[in-house]
Amino acid sequence: MIEYRHRKYVGRGLVYAALGVAAVQALGPVLWVLSGSLKSKADFFSHPWGMPRAWLFHNYVDAFAVARVGDYVWNSLTVVVLGLSILLFTATTTAYALARFEFPARRAITAIILITMMVPPDVLTVPLFIVLRELGLLGSFAGLACLYAANGFGMAVFVLRSYFLSVPTELEEAARLEGAGTLSTLWHVVLPMALPGFVSIALIQAMGMWNDLYMAFVFLRDPASATVPVGLLNFFQRESIDWPRLLAALSALTLPVLILYALLQRRFVEGFTAGAVK
């Protein structure tokens, strides 16, 4: 009995130690960024790993005023809202059609949509560049939003279709008996039942669009249209890097995302696990 308790305590101690190491690994970079954002240039280079000797909160003001971070935030919000609007509308209607309607090649279409999840967007850079140029959307927020929506389309359809299949068809039949049309039934009956998956898709895709650097750097040609990740590259000068202001901008733009994820982490897990099981 004593040996069993000893093994139990040792096992629990090892688990806590592993969790502690993981917590330090996750929180360490965040604390370093916060500390560096409050230092002067001289303090940062002389004590990069220590606490700031003088807390310079004006680095945050300078990051938004001098480096035009506020403009980059507005550009990113515009792209994210457009991209989410396109993605959620197209993915929701497509997933509902694949879940409820019988038509030729339905399984083939579903398989093709799922296969698109396996194709990295980097491979399609040149074809996408040519397509946007021919459509007159190259360098515009609308063109980048369409690319983001297409990139997340497969996963959104996969998750939402799983939710729609779990909704009892009797509810939809009752709505149609009351005179509701297809879109009205989807909006008022089916979608509320699949709200966890819908919210999960919206949040995950919004974070991906917000943090994207590669596609925004390639397809937005005007520096005034730069999104947040692209705009932060302006802190990297040829002669030097303004690390305190850069870290201040990163802190101001990253903390809201971390707080949002921490508050809605349970919703993320519920949404994706339930959608996968159903």
Per-residue model confidence (pLDDT) at position 3: 58
Per-residue model confidence (pLDDT) at position 277: 47
User: What is each CA distance from 1 to 7, 11, 15, 16, 273, in whole angstroms?
Assistant: 10, 15, 21, 23, 39
Q: Kindly report the average pLDDT of the chain as a whole number.
A: 83
Does the structural domain 67-235 have CATH classification 1.10.3720.10? yes
Taking the C-alpha atoms of residue 26 and residue 122, their distance in angstroms, rounded to an integer, is 28
Per-residue model confidence (pLDDT) at position 5: 62
The two structure tokens encoding residue 123: 């491979």
pTM equals 0.80
| Digit-coded pLDDT (tens) for 177-230 | 888 888 888 888 888 888 888 888 888 898 889 889 899 999 988 888 889 888
**Which amino acid, residue 31?**
L
Taking the C-alpha atoms of residue 40 and residue 143, their distance in angstroms, rounded to an integer, is 40
Alpha helices in 178-242 (DSSP H): 182-185, 191-193, 195-211, 214-219, 228-231
Report yes or no: 35 and 52 within 8 Å, Cβ to Cβ: yes
Per-residue model confidence (pLDDT) at position 81: 94
Helices and strands (H and E) in the chain: how many: 15, 0
Taking the C-alpha atoms of residue 111 and residue 196, their distance in angstroms, rounded to an integer, is 24
- Please say whether the dihedral angle defined by the alpha carbons of residues 204, 210, 214 and 215, taken in this order, is positive or negative: positive
Taking the C-alpha atoms of residue 189 and residue 194, their distance in angstroms, rounded to an integer, is 9
| Digit-coded pLDDT (tens) for 87-118 | 999 999 999 999 888 888 888 998 898 888 88
Band (pLDDT 50/70/90 cuts) for residue 67 is confident
Chain mean position to CA 13: 35
Per-residue model confidence (pLDDT) at position 149: 94
Residue found by looking up tokens 């491979």 in the block: 123
From-to residues of CATH 1.10.3720.10 in the chain: 67-235
> Which of 22-56 are b and which e, b meaning 16 or more Cβ less than 10 Å from the residue's Cβ?
eeeeeeeeeeebbbbbbbeeebbeeeeeeebeeeb
